[in-house]
Amino acid sequence: MAKSVLTPQSEDFPRWYADVVAKAGLAENGAARGTMIIKPWGYAIWERIQAELDARIKATGHDNVSFPLFIPYSFLQREAQHVEGFSPELAVVTHAGGEELAEPLVVRPTSETVIGDAMSRWVQGHRDLPLLLNQWANVVRWELRPRLFLRTTEFLWQEGHTAHATFDEAQAETLLILHHVYDDVIRNVMGIPSLLGRKTDQERFAGADSTYTLEALMRDGKALQLGTSHNLGQNFAKAFGITYSDADGGQQHAWTTSWGVSARLVGGLIMAHGDDRGLRLPPALAPVQVVVLAVKDEAIAACERLVGELTHAGVRTRLDGRTSQSFGRRAVEWELKGVPVRLEVGPRDLEAGSLTLVRRDRDRKETIPLEGAAAASADLLDAIQSGLLAEAEARRSAATTDVDTAAAVEGAGFFRLPWDRLGTGGEADLAERGYTVRCLVREDGAVPAPQENDGLIAYVARAY
């Protein structure tokens, strides 16, 4: 069989990543610098992630909406930290229709401001709360060092925005999304273990009271932020006049939250599970869970029956009957794409009443009876799913080191040290060496409250 041509991870991890994105048919650069064209296989993976997230978001009572791409520049200026934090990344429209605009328009970098403006009209009394909104959209943040899926000028994401009557309700919402939407999908569907914690003041979202994050370790020992959930306090409510009449008739400012994940998750999936032969997709996420390859035309009828049995069993299955192309080329293609199970059927297999089964998570083949092959393949999917998660957890554990001082932070992986020993001064020193505090957690691993600082553990790493 032909070998896939990928740069080995151990030789050049960034080059390996670029090779996989290109040769697995995930994405390519757009004509405008920093933009991305997501190709069919890459978009199919994003659609699966989107569907899993959307189902959970709706199950927790949120409704999907759609807000404009263009935002008046004055909206961003209403919240000082927000405009200061986003100014370097803004794309601003000053001319349209052949003339200069009376007010510049910002191409949406995030929607706290424009949704806050609408909330000020939609929220009148306490019975209007909570207001639970989510939108699937594209956003633009000017990127100086683009990398497909990880950092692009324009990218796809979802952003949730909610308003509540009390701080406690807003905080509960912030953590609900973190745990029961994001972590559930990232861990149980994508097979990626994440650290859940609170960002430091230096790293929190511009305009938020507190930011919570999911941080994962990639195979090269660098961290990747997979999603964030922000308790915005009353900052945006005061800036946009989001007020409500309470049960006693008094006027109160609402408490708001925002939260989001993006197509960066596809990049995280590649780097968390991929190997030197390409992608390895967890079955719960894979657009195609089993691919059936007909080696020769004589095997197509049997392969079609096998596909029917698998589909009837609820397995997402694809028939590859492109017998005019070489078998080796086709096998490598599906290997690159990371399909969890490959069934290969040729004329000799039919004579023997067998087929070849290849698990993508393992570097070996086995011959199994054709009769019952569909059921056997379906039964493998749960084992592959749990195995990829366990492998990623073991890798992260092996790459996590306890240290006593910032000076001991050196190399790849996560480094754990007491936050009260590091502090903001140590955080700044680490930043000069290319390390960031990815998140703060309690000693028992739980996420800390917004103002909780005593006895916390800082997780430090180099990051994407």
Q: Do 102 and 172 meet the contact criterion of CB atoms below 8 Å apart?
A: no
The answer to the question of residue 245 being in a domain is yes
In this structure, the answer to whether residues 429 and 313 fall within a common structural domain is no
In this structure, the answer to whether residues 363 and 457 fall within a common structural domain is no
User: Which range marks the domain in which residue 452 is found?
Assistant: 400-461
The answer to the question of residue 282 being in a domain is no
In this structure, the answer to whether residues 48 and 133 fall within a common structural domain is yes
- Helix (H), strand (E) at residue 176: helix 167-176
Residue 168 tokens read as 């406690």
Residue 39 tokens read as 């190709």
Contacts of 153 (CB under 8 A, 6+ apart): 32, 33, 34, 35, 91, 140, 141, 142, 143, 146
In this structure, the answer to whether residues 372 and 412 fall within a common structural domain is no
pLDDT at 1: 42
The answer to the question of residue 242 being in a domain is yes
Which residue in this structure is represented by tokens 């927000």?
A: 82
Q: What is the DSSP letter of 51?
A: H
Number of separate domains in the chain: 3
In this structure, the answer to whether residues 377 and 442 fall within a common structural domain is no
Whole-angstrom distance, CA of residue 458 vs CA of residue 351: 61
Q: Compute the half-sphere exposure of residue 145: CA atoms within 13 Å on the CB side of its CA.
A: 1
Domain final position from 327, 355, 383: 383
Letter for the amino acid at 392?
A: A
Whole-angstrom distance, CA of residue 244 vs CA of residue 298: 71
In this structure, the answer to whether residues 153 and 85 fall within a common structural domain is yes
In this structure, the answer to whether residues 126 and 227 fall within a common structural domain is yes
pLDDT in tens, the chain (464 residues): 445 589 999 999 999 999 999 999 999 999 999 999 999 999 999 999 999 999 999 999 999 999 999 999 999 988 878 778 788 899 999 999 999 999 999 999 999 999 999 999 999 999 999 999 999 999 999 998 999 999 999 999 999 999 999 999 999 999 999 999 999 999 999 999 999 999 999 999 999 999 999 999 999 999 999 999 999 999 999 999 999 999 999 999 999 999 999 999 999 999 999 999 999 999 999 999 999 999 999 999 999 999 999 999 999 999 999 999 999 999 999 999 999 999 999 999 999 999 999 999 998 899 999 999 999 999 999 999 999 999 999 999 999 999 999 999 999 999 999 999 998 899 999 999 999 999 999 999 999 999 999 999 999 999 99
Residue 102 tokens read as 């009376």
Contacts of 238 (CB under 8 A, 6+ apart): 253
In this structure, the answer to whether residues 375 and 409 fall within a common structural domain is no
- Burial grade of 329 (CB within 10 A; 0-12, 13-18, 19 or more): exposed
Length of the chain: 464
Question: At 321, is the secondary structure helix, strand, or coil?
Answer: coil
Whole-angstrom distance, CA of residue 351 vs CA of residue 140: 57
In this structure, the answer to whether residues 229 and 348 fall within a common structural domain is no
The answer to the question of residue 203 being in a domain is yes
pLDDT at 3: 54
Residue 188 tokens read as 């149980």
In this structure, the answer to whether residues 105 and 38 fall within a common structural domain is yes
In this structure, the answer to whether residues 375 and 421 fall within a common structural domain is no
- Helix (H), strand (E) at residue 388: helix 373-398
pLDDT at 144: 86
CATH number at residue 313: 3.40.50.800
Whole-angstrom distance, CA of residue 237 vs CA of residue 254: 6
pLDDT at 4: 55
In this structure, the answer to whether residues 76 and 209 fall within a common structural domain is yes
